[in-house]
Amino acid sequence: MLNDWNDDPRFASVSLAQHAGVTAAVAEGLPLSAVLAQEQIDEKTWAEADRAWKSALVEAPDLQLRYLQRRCQAEDCLARRIEPLGEDAAAWAGLLGALATAADPASVVAGLGLKMTDIARLGRAWRSKAAADPRVVDQLTKLAGKTLAPTLVRAAAITLNSFPWTPPSPSPSLSTEASARQTNTGDARAQFSRRRGGRLPIEDELDLFSAVMALSQAPASGGDGPRGEALFREALALCGVSERTFTPVVSAWYQQFAGDPDLRAAHMVVLMDHRGALQQLLAGAKGVLSDAP
């Protein structure tokens, strides 16, 4: 995940991280007024920044990828306790198995009274546990395909929590002129294409791979004629691959999915979460763009 949110571009003094945080919180059903108060953004500034961000994001794959990462960070800050899925490996493995074989995974999630964002958060939490403790990996591997999904869960209410970028004290607003887009595509390219051990992030990071797949299917990047195709190619270039070299990356991931149904289910969840975030964003952007003079 990106941690350099202080370097995020801004519109009307609202950073990309703040925009992602506000939209994520509102999507969870939290009142906009409370979220804006926490982020120290007045309603007039938010209206201006929201329009500007939606207009910029629809045309910029580098911003879209950053936005999806910030959105995941924001969603994790809004995590709620969900029993037994948060602590019981057998329950989590059972749900992953159910999602991997379901014709409509979203209906399985809704049937438990949960949202896809809940499952995406749980998935990231379990992956963090597995990365920190190999015994968790062994446990989940042994449980795969051997347990059933819970039929009842207990979920706490979602409450508003501060984000890593939430300002500790009131900060001065920037003028509209000073808040013009400051995106540095070179920095984004370096972030998403920096090799580790000879491998690109998109080869190892499930969230990033799923984000790119979501972008490829979004109207503004993959299905909107020549410009949409160009945006998708730009997104691939940011990740250090071309359409030709992306094909083996996809194949490698799907080979992993074939041998690991839980990983496939995790990809499905993250993909649907990213799709939902993009659909919400692009639907708002369509309204902004159609209203433009």
- Residues near 169 by beta carbon (within 8 Å), at least 6 away in sequence: none
**5 within some domain:** no
- pLDDT per residue as tens, the chain (293 positions): 455 677 788 998 999 999 999 999 999 999 999 999 999 999 999 999 999 998 888 888 889 999 999 999 999 999 999 999 999 999 999 999 999 889 999 999 999 999 999 999 999 999 999 999 999 999 998 998 899 999 999 999 999 999 999 998 654 444 433 344 444 545 656 678 889 899 999 999 999 999 999 988 776 444 455 566 788 888 999 999 999 999 999 999 999 999 888 889 899 999 999 988 888 887 766 655 455 44
Q: Where are the beta strands (DSSP E) in the chain?
A: 10-11, 14-15, 82-83, 154-155
Q: What pLDDT, on a 0 to 100 scale, did the predictor assign at position 178?
A: 38
Q: Which of 73, 56, 67, 65 is nearest to 238 (CA)?
A: 65
Work out how many domains the chain is built from and give that number.
2
Q: Which single residue is written with the structure tokens 């080979």?
A: 255
Secondary structure (3-state) at 15: strand
Q: Which residues pair with 155 in a beta bridge?
A: 82
Backbone angles phi, psi at 115, to 5 degrees: -115, 160
pLDDT at 216: 86
Residues 145 and 196 in one domain: no
Where do the DSSP E strands lie in 134-254? 154-155
**Could you tell me if 66 and 106 lie in one domain?**
no
C-alpha torsion sign, points 49, 55, 58, 61:
negative
Kindly state whether residues 93 and 227 are assigned to the same domain.
Answer: no
232-266 burial code (b ≥16 CB/10 A, e <16): bbbbbbbbbbeeeebeebeeebeeebeebbbbbbb
- The answer to whether residues 58 and 90 belong to one domain is no
- Regarding whether 149 and 206 lie in a shared domain, the answer is no
Domain holding 142, by residue range, is: 82-155
Q: Is 218 helix (H, G, I), strand (E, B) or coil?
A: coil
